[in-house]
Amino acid sequence: MQSSKSIQPVDIIEYQVAYKIRGQTSAKQLLATLPVPKGMTYLLSDTYPSHPHASLDGETFAPMPLIHWVRLADGSLLQRQVPYSQYRS
């Protein structure tokens, strides 16, 4: 890992978040949220955990890849994958 004082628009940044439970009981069904900082774009990689969820608004999460409905010119609906650049968490 390398530290840098300046980051260029095309640079890839990897960051990690560590959470610590400070209570006397175990956590169950814990969902850690890692926001995508403003001005940055999520890139798909070797994601951990193995079944990550993502969000477009930081509040509603669904399994990746996120899917949305697109209405075509003929009025029919088609499912499309949401671009990773729209992921916020």
CA distance 42 to 84: 6
Percent of all residues in the chain with a pLDDT value above 90, rounded to a whole number: 37
Q: Is the pLDDT of residue 2 over 70?
A: no
Say what the pLDDT of residue 86 is. Answer: 93
Tell me the pLDDT tens digit for each residue of 42-69: 887 766 677 888 999 989 999 999 999 9
CA distance 3 to 6: 9
**Taking all residues of the chain, what is their mean pLDDT, rounded to a whole number?**
85
> Mean pLDDT, to the nearest integer, of 5-24?
82
Which residues contact residue 67 at a Cβ distance below 8 angstroms, ignoring those fewer than 6 apart? 79, 80, 81, 82
pLDDT band at 17 (very low <50, low <70, confident <90, very high): confident
CA distance 83 to 41: 10
